[in-house]
Structure 1
Amino acid sequence: MAVTVQSVLDRVQQTLQDTGGIRWSSTAELILWVNDAQREIAILKPDATSTNTTVTLAAGTKQSIPADGNRLLNVVRNMSAASSGTGKRTVRLVSRDILDSLEPSWHDPAVKGDAKHGTSVKHFMYEDQDPRNFYVYPGVSGNAYLEIIYSANPATIAANANLGVPDIYATAVMNYVLYMCYMKDSEFVANQQRANSHFNLFMSTVTGKSQIDTTTSPNTNTTPQAQISGVG
């Protein structure tokens, strides 16, 4: 069952020993911090809000992820249509420097040969300094679609909604809210220490999951291409 915002707030108030809502009589501020926590998680662990979708490509080589996106995670394949389409040619990441060396005019809509703009993409390029945009090769002349995976910015949610991040992050969200609560009352030394403790718990949960995901990913034990029969 999905974790609701209210269930997280209930745990927060129990930890604060404020189940009667005496100190935190209004939950509006607590909900604000729940939303802040989700955005922090999306920054620290972009795949926590990963979204798989098909996008319609713009003419040319430069493309952008949807408006709600935080950063591109991967480009999977060409698609036959914007919705309910079938999969087509796969798309591979390449170095822009290589393409620039082989065909300096690949951005030009009038370029000929292998770089001629069309409706099927072979490669994509991505720069970490420009996370919401990417480039495709060859460029697009029209009616082209790609299946991509991107990190979406969590939508602002209310108390009666479900968390906008996977349920596994509920404890991290709770610790972030507790961190903000104790920070607000940090004129007391003990509360400053509690705030630091909950922030550290938040960080260790999110960054620790990144380490676990790395070691348990199917890609960790991927068979090298040269060893796959028939692929070379």
Structure 2
Amino acid sequence: MTTTLVVKVIKRVQRIINDKTGIIWPELELLEDFNDAIKDIVLHRPDASTINTVFDCTTSSSKQILPSDALRLVEVIRNIGGNVITSIDRSTLNATRPNWHQSDPTISIEHYVYDERDPKTFYLYPRPANNGEDAHQIEIVYSTCPADIEIDEASIKNGSSAITIPIDDTYSNAIIDFMLARAYSKDLGSAANANRSARHYQLYGNALGVKLQSDAMMMKEGA
């Protein structure tokens, strides 16, 4: 459970940019930057927002489609009530079991195949069979993107909103650095602000443990 309030994050950003009244950077604009930060964090760190759930397999098909709210698969854990399911490289399976897509259906899945280039699809070997009258079930973990946070301007100004950030509290500093990078990018005509924007974006990348392109900061249209 997270405890960091969204309005606290926005207020902290306002203090750092010395705009506590929202004259240069309006509160709702900073809230947009907050929501963009969450999306970007989940893009670079899918483990920041995951769902562990029971998944109903598509019977007699090696190909499985993730739920509609999924961004990508993180891991397939086990057959419900049965053995673990391990990851296997597609080329290995192709070489050793060239007909694996036509394997005999079973309720004891052994392996899964996943390719990040096709993030919402994964494959099971052997093919799943019905478990009695129901679909065979497995336990999976997948990444999802939280819905945008919506807070009215007055609640941000007076700090009355009790909405917390939708990912773990440990990401709060990364969120702040992303928002500061975005805020300072509003005035790249200033060399000082351009440097501040680049510095906070680098700090953001360091916090996530990812390498970011120096020119990859997503600028707002018309900023």
Tell me the residue number matched to 1:229.
none
Describe how 1:188-199 pairs up with structure 2 within 5 A. 188-199=190-201
Relative to the length of structure 1, the TM-score reads: 0.78
Tell me the residue number matched to 1:139.
127
Please list every run of 5 or more consecutive structure 2 residues that lacks an aligned counterpart in the other structure: 152-160, 211-223
Match of 1:119 among 103, 107, 112: 107
Length, aligned pairs only: 194
Query: What secondary structure sits across from 1:155 in the alignment?
Result: coil
For 1:171 and 1:179, locate their aligned partners in 2 and report how far apart those are by CA, in whole Å: 12
What amino acid sits opposite 1:146 in the alignment? Answer: I
1:93 aligns with 2:81: no
Shift of 1:77: 0.5
After superposition, the CA RMSD in angstroms is 1.7
For 1:12 and 1:122, locate their aligned partners in 2 and report how far apart those are by CA, in whole Å: 49
Please list every run of 5 or more consecutive structure 1 residues that lacks an aligned counterpart in the other structure: 80-86, 109-114, 209-232
For 1:41 and 1:168, locate their aligned partners in 2 and report how far apart those are by CA, in whole Å: 12
Tell me the residue number matched to 1:64.
65
CA contact (8 A) 1:33 1:180 kept: yes
For 1:179 and 1:95, locate their aligned partners in 2 and report how far apart those are by CA, in whole Å: 39
Relative to the length of structure 2, the TM-score reads: 0.81
Identity within the alignment, %: 32
CA contact (8 A) 1:5 1:158 kept: no
Tell me the residue number matched to 1:187.
189
What amino acid sits opposite 1:75 in the alignment? Answer: V
Shift of 1:173: 0.5
Tell me the residue number matched to 1:177.
179
Change (3 A) 1:102 1:198: closer
For 2:77 and 2:150, locate their aligned partners in 1 and report how far apart those are by CA, in whole Å: 34
For 1:98 and 1:170, locate their aligned partners in 2 and report how far apart those are by CA, in whole Å: 41
